[in-house]
A and B are shown apart, each in its own frame.
Chain A
Amino acid sequence: MDKTTELIDDDPVIYIEELVKEYKSSDGTIVRAVDNISMSVAAGEIVGLLGANGAGKTTTLRIIATLLQPTFGRTQVCGHDSVRDPVGVRQSLGYVSATTGVPDRLTARELLTSFGRLHGLDEDAIKERLEWLIQTLSLSDYIDRPAGRLSSGQRQRISLGRALVHNPPALVLDEPTNALDVVGSRDLLDTLDHLRERGHAILLSTHRLHEIEHRCDRFVIIDTGHIVAMGTHGALVSDSGDLESAFFRAIDSETPA
């Protein structure tokens, strides 16, 4: 697999350029969790970020979401730089992580309302968005129940709702289907499809290759912090037959660009 240069759209919604993140380990050596990653996500596109555990997916996504600071390089969301204009990034981005939870004793409605307020929406806008979210995410059954009593799939939906309450053009999801069963997983990915059609740019990471094999427009495979393969499904699979073998080949080969 060769790392083809990126098809950079005119205005990528999410744009990552030569991102590096270094950590100091306990014995003093410097470890690069993210090593020179460059990629982009355009509007109306789902990009899948694939990699084994510890490859650097979570770190990359956190940097995009302004939870971490990059050591070198930069990320931009809708033109806002994550270091210089984090507020702008946060206004344009919705972030859901596998470990993200919801408060136990608040109902989904209250949670979404409070986040709407924190994002600066006025009450009418919040009501509007709430309606739309309930509809899109099918939250009506449990919108007024305290979230502690819901199943994990339902909670994940509410999380997604929280990420979408301010209608961000970009959406970043970090292993969103980890805690979900098959049905929940499929529902979630269907929702993402729907959102893509509406023009959102979605970047999602996962290690469940079979789930997203036919859902993503492009794939980026990373290993030990750097990109080992990038491209559409067709391009990647052409030599190997299925995504999984392509994945393993990319990881094992480790050929530089």
Chain B
Amino acid sequence: MNHTVSSLWAAVSLARRDLLEFLRDRRTVAVTLLLPMITYPLVALSSSLGVRTGLQTTAEQQTATPLSLVLSGPESPRLATRLGMILLEAKDNPPPGWPSDVFAEIESSEKAKQLLDSGKVDLWIDVPDGFTQQLTGFNTIDLTAHVSDKYPASTKTRDQLESLLQSFATQIREERMELAKVPPSFFNPIKLVFEGKDPAAVIADRRIIAPVLGAILVLLAVLTMTGSFYPAIDAIAGEKERGTIETLLIVPCRTQDIVFGKFLAIFGVTLATLAANVISILLTILVSLRYFPDGSAEYYLQNIGRGASVTLISFIGLSSVASAMSLAVTTASKSVKEAQNTLTPVILLISALAGISLLPGISINGFVPAVPFTGQIVVSQDALTPPPTEQQPIAHDDQISSSWEMTTPLARLAPLLTTMLSSVGVTWVLLRGTAAMLTDEDILFRGPDAASGFARPAPRLVPGVIHGGLALAVGLAGLWYVQGISPANIVLAIPVQQVAVIAPLAMLLWWQRVNIQKTFSLSWPGTGSAWSSCLGGLSALLGGVLTGGGLFILGAAVLLQLTSIEMSPAMKQLSEKILSLMLDQPWWLAWILIAILPACLEELLFRGWVLSAFCGEKPSTQRMALAVFAQAICFALFHLLPERMPQTFLLGIALGTIVLLTKSIYPAILCHVANNSMPLVLLFMTGIEDKESLPNSATTDAMNLSLPPLAIVAAGGVVLLGTTLLIFSQRLRVKCSFKGFAVILLVSVLCQTSDSTRHLRAQEQARNETIDPLRVAVLPIKGLAEYQGDSPHGYSIDLWKELSKRIGASTQYVQIPSIEKLFDATRNGDIDVLLGPLAVTEQREKLVDFTHPVVHSGLQIAVPRDHDGRLFTALTNLISWELVTILTSVIGTMILTGHLLWLFERRHNAESFPAPYPRGVWEAVWWSVSTIITGGCENKVISTVTGRVIAVTWMIGGIVLVALLTSTLTTTMTVDQVTGTVRSPRDLFGKTVACQEGGVVIDAVKEYGGSPVLYPNIETMMAAVSSDECDALVSESHTLMLALHTSKPNELRLVPGIFNSFDFALALPQGSTLREPLNNAILQMRETGILDDLKDRWFGEYH
């Protein structure tokens, strides 16, 4: 009679019973199902104003303010009449924004100005004399509309006046055309007419719809969730209170079936809630349709089918997850009250998850659809938003991508499938967990405090390795996730990222009980008595700062050496953003965001929590080393971009060592702050204040900068000093010799800084002196100076800026169109300096005076760059016959000597040269090599006379051999040997050479026996060589350098060596007093290397 019940049947019976019971609770049913019915209409009503204004056209937005205009002047009545007539004509159908009336009073100018300044009128036009006559003429009439200083007219008012006067102008134009007998169609060559509806007016703006949709969906999600609460509380917690839970546990069904049955009941009620919500929303939308612009409603609803079904399906998934979650939470509770208390934070959590979907930048790709609650809302929102059109394409910098973009139907379904799978999975997991909890004796029978699972773990000194790893893993996941949604504005993005990294640590801290002082090494770095502790601590802090600054320079130097590696776009973008942060924001904000905030938080996480976790309580030295290494790797990984990892890894090692050495985190924090502040410091030192003063190349291709070797050495010294201080701080009482060493280094560093400050001060001085400005004309030469707009740019201009600073003069640029006139002007003394620089020829010297040459130029050759990597080509080119010969002879002589030696020594000196053949020669050869290279060989003696003779011969001869080998190597490794075939003009013989038309180059090329091929400009010449049409190209040196420098990617290489060269200098009027100071300045610049710096900046590596 009794048979074991099938699972589904049991679950369904139970669900039936529970539903029946639940639905009898009239009050709860009313709240659960009726509440949503009134929510949406209320929400729609209250937000209808906002929605309406969002959806209205701009025409309705602009409210017309009457324009009050006053005209003055004897001919003002004329204008007033004409304007009045225009307004009258337009009275029935005024153009958008036009007022219905213009208030114009004809007054005298003074009175008009008074009216304007008192705010009684918006604008005043003083009609000029001869206005009437000019109307019929053909010139432009200038009218000035005066705006009050105190009450300046708004943009709308100005626009209105402008449009009004435009109508007037059109009238006048027509009159004039009539006068001149020009037909009106003269100005209208084409007439365009659109057929059909304008889709732009039809589609509700995507950007407005999407957030509104998002908000509604979030509301829907939260209300659906709450719909599952009451039945869940009733289903388990209520049963526990009434004592009926045991009766369920003793029926012959599996616990899973009981749980599933309960779940079904709750799910049913949740679905009912969802349905009630949806019906309410639909009704609200239908009623408020009239707020949509004409036609857009139908358009929107046409596509709604897909969106609605996607939403419905994903929200069924959401209901399932919500039901399972409520069930799980209430199962863990002992009573109804406890269940309610626990569910409240769950509502908050779910609202938060739902609210995340409203953040800009949440995309529908990746794993977002799988996140419960967030995923369903995002998928629904995307499906409901209208598809993109030409007028409103998807803006990719919004970082919102849409399933409408996906091409295959499967891809379009993918987010929905992900959501559903995730929902089912999460539900299943929760139900399994609930089943386990349901039969858990603790939860079932004992009191609330007996549940031991949720107690905080026992206190410990430092966190365990697992907790270290946990903080890292969750932090990294959060950081990676945040990359997708972080705001574009870097001022916000940096704090968001830091929070994402540090949040898991905060949560772990709240959960775990650890000794904060020990874990985070929050002690003062000094030890010992008060005095030595203070001093030691301070020196540790100072040491940290110095080490951090120096390490940055060293790391940058290493990074810049790897110039052949192209920066990834992500890295370039990051550099751009940080550069703009440093330039555009106040320095203290940039400092906090770049240096202080990340330094503190990252130290706490990596050198505090993680390092302590990895080290453990009493670590051995080996373990400490391993821990430092491991946390440095994690630290490097956290910076995500591969280009940053090596530098960060080394920094991590340094910081970890500092913390373990000084047992304090403060020197490490300061070190990190110093390290991160260096970019700001460097920027400040170069004196660049805004983006415009950066040379063109620097912003996009910072790799072309290089550090002077002096800086690297100084940085190295600083790091050493810092390290010394750190060590010094820990052994205060013992080694006094460190002090001396430290002092020496400190002095040398100070000297360096004082030098640079002197330089900076000199620059300041030069800037401050004011005398009459010099008139400077610029000879436009491609490659050296060009006019861009009104101001000149180029190498020559920068050169002149430097020179003028040094001679303490200010500049006034004069633009003269032709070269002859330039020369004339210089001869006459109309201009003080002619900037070219010009080629110095005897002819010109007769007419003008020249300064010392500033540029040495001439013709230069460019050839295609080898396609192999330089290193490989270098290696293959090294293998020349000479090298092979030398190497062979060296080895051969070694072996020969070895044999000879062995022959003569073996009988008398068996210790050093054993008798048996292979072994003895082996030892002898070893002797030869050692002697030659290191100058001696231990534990071998030469005892016979003959042997010693041989040995001496070998030693002397060996010197020669080694020298030969070294010199051969050196010669084969010169840059010229290693690359290319064309190394000088002579190599142009028989080759095709690209040249510019009409230049002196053609003759020069023919002179050397090459065949010139003509091209119009440098760009086409370069293209020809890259595509192998020509073997090489020849051009003026600086034009070529500039072109190569600014072209990317570089496929050409400059052959060193200028031929047919001449000097270039600045031209001055004969007898100019500027000659002496300018010459001094030029020589100074040449000797201090500034000239080279300038060339670096403009021509890069090519000069």
Contact = CB atoms under 8 A, between A and B. Distances in A.
B25 interface: yes
Contacts of B4: 87, 91, 120
A102 interface: yes
B3 A120 contact: yes
B13 A117 contact: yes
Interface in A79-103: 87-88, 90-91, 93, 95, 97, 99-103
Interface stretch (B15-23, B549-557, B813-821): B15-23
B994 interface: no
A121 interface: yes
Contacts of B21: 103-106
Contacts of B16: 114
B252 A90 contact: yes
Interface residues of A, number: 36
B1 A101 contact: no
B5 A119 contact: yes
B122 to A, nearest CB: 74
A97 B244 contact: no
A66 interface: yes
B441 to A, nearest CB: 6
A95 B14 contact: no
Contacts of B13: 114, 117-118
A118 B3 CA distance: 10
Given A120-B2, A121-B2, A101 B243 contact: yes
Contacts of B9: 117
Given A110-B20, A118-B14, A100 B246 contact: yes
B633 interface: no
Given A110-B20, A118-B13, A119-B252, A103 B25 contact: no
B396 interface: no
B250 interface: yes
A115 B112 CA distance: 97
A68 B243 CA distance: 16
Contact of A67 (B17, B20, B249, B253): B249
Nearest to A86: B252
Interface string B8-48: 01100110110011001100000000000000000000000
Contacts of B14: 114, 118
Nearest to A99: B243
A120 B444 contact: no
Nearest to A65: B250
Contacts of B254: 87
B5 A66 contact: no
A118 B244 contact: no
Given A68-B441, A121-B2, A100 B244 contact: yes
Contacts of A102: 242, 244
A200 interface: no
Contacts of A114: 13-14, 16-17
A211 to B, nearest CB: 22
B242 A120 contact: no
A66 B4 CA distance: 17
Which of A87, A91, A100, A118 has the most B CB atoms < 10 Å from its CB?
Answer: A118
B348 to A, nearest CB: 31
Contacts of B249: 66-67
Contacts of B247: 95, 100, 115, 159, 162
A171 to B, nearest CB: 12
A125 interface: yes
Contact of B251 (A101, A119, A146): A119
- Most B CB within 10 A of own CB, among A26, A68, A95, A117: A117
B1 A106 contact: no
B446 to A, nearest CB: 9
A17 B253 CA distance: 26
Contact of A97 (B5, B10, B246, B251): B246
B243 A67 contact: no
B689 to A, nearest CB: 69
Nearest to B9: A117
B2 A106 contact: no
A104 B336 CA distance: 15
B5 A120 contact: yes
B24 A67 contact: no
A88 B253 CA distance: 10
B2 A118 contact: no
A27 B242 CA distance: 31
B92 to A, nearest CB: 72
A101 to B, nearest CB: 4
Nearest to A125: B1
Contacts of A69: 441
A93 B250 contact: yes
A74 interface: no
Interface in A153-174: 159, 162, 166
Contacts of A118: 5, 10, 13-14, 251-253
Q: Which of B9, B239, B246 counts the most A-chain CB atoms under 10 A from its CB?
A: B246
A73 to B, nearest CB: 17
B246 A67 contact: yes
B313 to A, nearest CB: 32
Contacts of A97: 243, 246
A216 B25 CA distance: 42
Given A90-B251, A118-B5, A120-B3, A146 B24 contact: yes
A159 B246 CA distance: 12
B2 A91 contact: yes
Contacts of A88: 252
A91 B254 CA distance: 12
A166 B1 CA distance: 9
A105 B17 contact: no
A67 B444 contact: yes
Given A114-B13, A118-B14, A105 B25 contact: yes
Contacts of B1: 121, 125
Contacts of B5: 117-120
A66 B2 contact: no
A30 to B, nearest CB: 14
Contacts of A120: 2-5, 252
Contacts of B25: 105
Contact of A119 (B2, B242, B441, B444): B2
A159 B254 CA distance: 22
A224 B284 CA distance: 67
A175 to B, nearest CB: 12
A115 B251 contact: yes
B35 to A, nearest CB: 21
A105 B242 CA distance: 12
Nearest to A66: B250
A66 B441 CA distance: 11
Contacts of A166: 2
Contacts of A93: 250
Contacts of A65: 246, 250
Contacts of A66: 249-250
Contacts of A100: 243-244, 246-247
Contacts of B2: 91, 119-121, 166
Contacts of A103: 21, 239, 242, 244
Interface string A116-128: 0111110001000
Contacts of A121: 1-2
A90 B16 CA distance: 22
10 contacts: A68-B441, A95-B247, A95-B250, A99-B246, A100-B243, A103-B242, A104-B21, A106-B17, A115-B247, A159-B247
Given A99-B246, A118-B14, 17 more contacts: A68-B445, A69-B441, A87-B254, A100-B243, A101-B242, A102-B244, A103-B239, A103-B242, A104-B21, A105-B24, A114-B13, A115-B247, A118-B253, A119-B252, A121-B2, A162-B247, A166-B2
